[in-house]
Amino acid sequence: MPPRPRRGAWGRAVTAFGVALILAGLAVLGWFAWQYFGTNIVAKREQAQIKQTLKIDWGKGIDSDAIGLLRVKRFGNDFEVPIVKGTDGGALERGVGWDPKSGKPGQIGNFVIAGHRVTHGEPFAKFPKLKAGDKVVVETRTAIYTYRLRNAGTSVTVDFTTSWPLWDVPDPDGRGDVQTKPVLTMLTCSELFHTRNRSVVVADIVKTVKKTKANSKTPGDTKTPTKIKAD
Protein backbone atom coordinates (compact mmCIF):
# COMPACT_ATOMS: atom_id res chain seq x y z
CA MET A 1 0.00 0.00 0.00
CA PRO A 2 1.48 3.35 -0.98
CA PRO A 3 2.03 5.82 1.88
CA ARG A 4 -0.71 8.40 2.50
CA PRO A 5 0.23 11.84 1.25
CA ARG A 6 1.16 14.29 3.97
CA ARG A 7 -1.20 17.18 4.53
CA GLY A 8 0.29 20.42 3.43
CA ALA A 9 -0.09 23.89 4.87
CA TRP A 10 -3.06 24.50 2.59
CA GLY A 11 -4.95 21.51 3.97
CA ARG A 12 -4.31 22.55 7.55
CA ALA A 13 -5.49 26.07 6.75
CA VAL A 14 -8.72 24.78 5.24
CA THR A 15 -9.38 22.61 8.29
CA ALA A 16 -8.69 25.48 10.67
CA PHE A 17 -10.99 27.75 8.66
CA GLY A 18 -13.78 25.15 8.78
CA VAL A 19 -13.43 24.78 12.55
CA ALA A 20 -13.50 28.56 12.93
CA LEU A 21 -16.72 28.76 10.92
CA ILE A 22 -18.34 26.10 13.09
CA LEU A 23 -17.30 27.88 16.27
CA ALA A 24 -18.52 31.21 14.91
CA GLY A 25 -21.86 29.65 14.01
CA LEU A 26 -22.21 28.17 17.48
CA ALA A 27 -21.37 31.55 19.00
CA VAL A 28 -24.05 33.28 16.93
CA LEU A 29 -26.62 30.64 17.83
CA GLY A 30 -25.67 30.99 21.48
CA TRP A 31 -26.05 34.77 21.30
CA PHE A 32 -29.52 34.49 19.75
CA ALA A 33 -30.54 31.88 22.31
CA TRP A 34 -29.42 34.18 25.11
CA GLN A 35 -31.24 37.18 23.66
CA TYR A 36 -34.51 35.38 22.97
CA PHE A 37 -34.60 33.10 26.00
CA GLY A 38 -31.91 33.93 28.52
CA THR A 39 -32.69 37.63 28.85
CA ASN A 40 -36.39 36.85 29.33
CA ILE A 41 -35.66 34.43 32.17
CA VAL A 42 -33.34 36.90 33.90
CA ALA A 43 -35.69 39.87 33.39
CA LYS A 44 -38.77 38.07 34.70
CA ARG A 45 -36.85 36.88 37.75
CA GLU A 46 -35.70 40.43 38.46
CA GLN A 47 -39.19 41.82 37.88
CA ALA A 48 -40.56 39.37 40.45
CA GLN A 49 -37.96 40.58 42.95
CA ILE A 50 -38.83 44.22 42.23
CA LYS A 51 -42.52 43.49 42.80
CA GLN A 52 -41.72 41.76 46.08
CA THR A 53 -39.69 44.75 47.26
CA LEU A 54 -42.47 47.08 46.15
CA LYS A 55 -44.98 45.05 48.16
CA ILE A 56 -42.84 45.37 51.28
CA ASP A 57 -42.24 49.10 50.78
CA TRP A 58 -45.90 49.86 50.13
CA GLY A 59 -46.80 47.88 53.23
CA LYS A 60 -44.55 50.25 55.19
CA GLY A 61 -46.20 53.25 53.58
CA ILE A 62 -43.14 54.29 51.59
CA ASP A 63 -42.49 54.53 47.84
CA SER A 64 -40.34 51.89 46.19
CA ASP A 65 -37.71 52.04 43.46
CA ALA A 66 -40.47 51.09 41.04
CA ILE A 67 -43.06 53.86 40.69
CA GLY A 68 -45.95 51.45 40.17
CA LEU A 69 -47.43 48.40 38.49
CA LEU A 70 -48.88 48.07 35.00
CA ARG A 71 -51.79 45.75 34.19
CA VAL A 72 -53.28 45.27 30.73
CA LYS A 73 -56.02 42.64 30.43
CA ARG A 74 -55.45 42.38 26.68
CA PHE A 75 -51.94 41.09 27.50
CA GLY A 76 -53.36 38.38 29.79
CA ASN A 77 -55.29 38.13 33.04
CA ASP A 78 -52.07 37.59 34.98
CA PHE A 79 -50.07 40.32 33.22
CA GLU A 80 -48.48 42.63 35.78
CA VAL A 81 -45.07 44.29 35.42
CA PRO A 82 -43.27 46.95 37.45
CA ILE A 83 -42.94 50.45 36.07
CA VAL A 84 -39.40 51.66 36.72
CA LYS A 85 -37.85 55.10 36.39
CA GLY A 86 -35.96 55.71 33.14
CA THR A 87 -36.10 54.49 29.56
CA ASP A 88 -32.47 53.50 29.05
CA GLY A 89 -31.39 49.94 28.43
CA GLY A 90 -30.86 49.16 32.09
CA ALA A 91 -34.33 50.33 33.08
CA LEU A 92 -36.05 48.51 30.22
CA GLU A 93 -34.40 45.28 31.31
CA ARG A 94 -36.15 45.56 34.69
CA GLY A 95 -39.70 46.25 33.52
CA VAL A 96 -41.62 48.95 31.69
CA GLY A 97 -39.73 52.26 31.68
CA TRP A 98 -41.22 55.63 32.65
CA ASP A 99 -39.84 58.79 31.05
CA PRO A 100 -39.17 60.98 34.13
CA LYS A 101 -39.46 64.11 31.94
CA SER A 102 -43.10 63.25 31.30
CA GLY A 103 -46.10 63.43 33.61
CA LYS A 104 -46.74 61.21 36.61
CA PRO A 105 -49.44 58.55 36.89
CA GLY A 106 -52.88 60.05 37.36
CA GLN A 107 -51.69 63.64 37.30
CA ILE A 108 -52.40 66.23 34.62
CA GLY A 109 -49.86 65.70 31.87
CA ASN A 110 -48.66 63.00 29.50
CA PHE A 111 -47.51 59.90 31.41
CA VAL A 112 -45.11 58.16 28.98
CA ILE A 113 -43.96 54.56 29.34
CA ALA A 114 -42.02 52.26 27.00
CA GLY A 115 -41.30 48.55 26.86
CA HIS A 116 -39.65 45.80 24.83
CA ARG A 117 -41.63 43.65 22.42
CA VAL A 118 -38.90 41.00 22.32
CA THR A 119 -36.14 40.07 24.80
CA HIS A 120 -35.69 41.27 28.39
CA GLY A 121 -39.06 40.07 29.59
CA GLU A 122 -40.84 41.35 26.43
CA PRO A 123 -43.67 43.08 28.36
CA PHE A 124 -45.09 44.59 25.16
CA ALA A 125 -44.94 41.38 23.10
CA LYS A 126 -48.73 41.53 22.54
CA PHE A 127 -48.78 45.26 21.76
CA PRO A 128 -50.24 44.66 18.25
CA LYS A 129 -53.28 43.00 19.88
CA LEU A 130 -54.34 46.21 21.65
CA LYS A 131 -57.71 47.59 20.58
CA ALA A 132 -59.25 51.03 20.90
CA GLY A 133 -61.28 51.04 24.10
CA ASP A 134 -59.02 48.59 25.97
CA LYS A 135 -58.38 49.40 29.62
CA VAL A 136 -54.91 49.96 31.04
CA VAL A 137 -54.48 49.99 34.82
CA VAL A 138 -51.63 51.70 36.64
CA GLU A 139 -51.32 51.15 40.38
CA THR A 140 -49.15 53.31 42.61
CA ARG A 141 -48.72 53.27 46.36
CA THR A 142 -51.57 55.72 46.85
CA ALA A 143 -54.00 55.13 43.98
CA ILE A 144 -55.17 52.96 41.10
CA TYR A 145 -55.69 54.68 37.75
CA THR A 146 -57.61 53.23 34.82
CA TYR A 147 -57.06 54.55 31.30
CA ARG A 148 -58.97 53.79 28.09
CA LEU A 149 -57.07 53.52 24.79
CA ARG A 150 -57.93 55.92 21.97
CA ASN A 151 -56.36 53.73 19.27
CA ALA A 152 -55.25 50.19 18.49
CA GLY A 153 -51.72 48.86 18.83
CA THR A 154 -51.07 48.78 15.09
CA SER A 155 -52.81 52.02 14.06
CA VAL A 156 -49.96 54.45 14.82
CA THR A 157 -46.35 53.74 13.83
CA VAL A 158 -43.63 56.38 13.98
CA ASP A 159 -39.91 56.62 13.30
CA PHE A 160 -37.81 56.39 16.45
CA THR A 161 -36.73 60.03 15.96
CA THR A 162 -40.36 61.24 16.12
CA SER A 163 -40.87 63.28 19.29
CA TRP A 164 -44.59 64.08 19.46
CA PRO A 165 -45.47 61.01 21.59
CA LEU A 166 -43.32 62.59 24.34
CA TRP A 167 -44.97 66.02 24.18
CA ASP A 168 -47.32 67.27 26.86
CA VAL A 169 -50.13 66.85 24.33
CA PRO A 170 -49.23 63.65 22.39
CA ASP A 171 -50.43 64.74 18.97
CA PRO A 172 -48.51 65.60 15.78
CA ASP A 173 -50.22 69.04 15.93
CA GLY A 174 -49.78 69.44 19.67
CA ARG A 175 -46.34 71.06 19.85
CA GLY A 176 -46.36 73.74 22.55
CA ASP A 177 -49.89 72.90 23.72
CA VAL A 178 -50.53 72.56 27.44
CA GLN A 179 -52.17 69.39 28.68
CA THR A 180 -55.36 69.84 30.70
CA LYS A 181 -56.00 66.25 31.82
CA PRO A 182 -54.13 63.05 32.67
CA VAL A 183 -53.25 60.98 29.61
CA LEU A 184 -51.07 57.93 29.06
CA THR A 185 -48.78 57.19 26.11
CA MET A 186 -47.32 53.72 25.60
CA LEU A 187 -44.52 53.06 23.10
CA THR A 188 -42.60 50.03 21.94
CA CYS A 189 -38.85 50.53 22.16
CA SER A 190 -35.83 49.49 20.13
CA GLU A 191 -35.87 45.78 19.37
CA LEU A 192 -33.18 43.17 18.87
CA PHE A 193 -32.15 44.50 15.46
CA HIS A 194 -32.86 48.15 16.38
CA THR A 195 -35.77 48.70 14.03
CA ARG A 196 -36.56 52.34 13.37
CA ASN A 197 -40.31 52.01 13.84
CA ARG A 198 -42.14 52.45 17.13
CA SER A 199 -45.80 51.63 17.81
CA VAL A 200 -47.77 54.16 19.86
CA VAL A 201 -51.05 54.14 21.75
CA VAL A 202 -52.57 57.03 23.70
CA ALA A 203 -55.12 56.65 26.49
CA ASP A 204 -57.36 58.90 28.59
CA ILE A 205 -57.99 58.43 32.29
CA VAL A 206 -61.48 57.16 33.09
CA LYS A 207 -61.29 56.19 36.75
CA THR A 208 -59.25 57.04 39.82
CA VAL A 209 -59.40 55.04 43.04
CA LYS A 210 -57.59 56.48 46.03
CA LYS A 211 -56.15 53.75 48.24
CA THR A 212 -56.80 53.80 51.97
CA LYS A 213 -56.12 51.26 54.69
CA ALA A 214 -59.68 50.08 54.24
CA ASN A 215 -59.48 49.42 50.52
CA SER A 216 -55.74 49.07 49.86
CA LYS A 217 -54.77 45.82 48.20
CA THR A 218 -51.63 43.77 47.90
CA PRO A 219 -49.76 44.21 44.59
CA GLY A 220 -50.60 41.27 42.39
CA ASP A 221 -54.14 40.92 43.72
CA THR A 222 -56.45 41.62 40.80
CA LYS A 223 -59.47 42.47 42.94
CA THR A 224 -60.44 46.11 42.48
CA PRO A 225 -60.93 48.28 45.58
CA THR A 226 -64.11 50.23 46.06
CA LYS A 227 -64.39 53.01 43.51
CA ILE A 228 -64.49 56.34 45.29
CA LYS A 229 -63.83 58.75 42.45
CA ALA A 230 -64.55 58.73 38.75
CA ASP A 231 -63.19 61.06 36.11
Q: Is residue 1 part of a domain?
A: no
Domain that holds residue 75: 9-230
**Residue 111 pairs with which residues in a beta bridge?**
184
pLDDT at 219: 53
pLDDT at 40: 60
Q: Any long-range contacts for 84-89 (C-beta under 8 Å, 24+ apart)?
A: 84/50, 87/114, 87/189
Which is nearest to 91 in space by CA: 62, 61, 50, 131? 50
Q: Is residue 4 part of a domain?
A: no
**Residue 185 pairs with which residues in a beta bridge?**
112, 202
pLDDT at 90: 83
- As to burial, measured by CB atoms within 10 angstroms (0-12 exposed, 13-18 middle, 19+ buried), residue 55 is middle
Residue range 185-201, pLDDT digits in tens: 999 986 545 577 899 99
Q: Is residue 3 part of a domain?
A: no
Count up the domains in the chain and report the number: 1
Active site residues: 116, 189
* C-beta separation of 162 from 155 below 8 A: no
* C-beta separation of 112 from 35 below 8 A: no
Whole-number Å distance between alpha carbons of 189 and 39: 16
Q: What parts of the chain have a pLDDT lower than 70?
A: 1-40, 119-121, 190-194, 213-231
Q: At 183, which CATH number?
A: 2.40.260.10
Ramachandran class of 172: left when φ > 0, alpha when ψ lies in -120 to 50, beta otherwise: alpha
Residue range 103-118, pLDDT digits in tens: 999 999 999 999 988 7
Q: Is residue 44 part of a domain?
A: yes
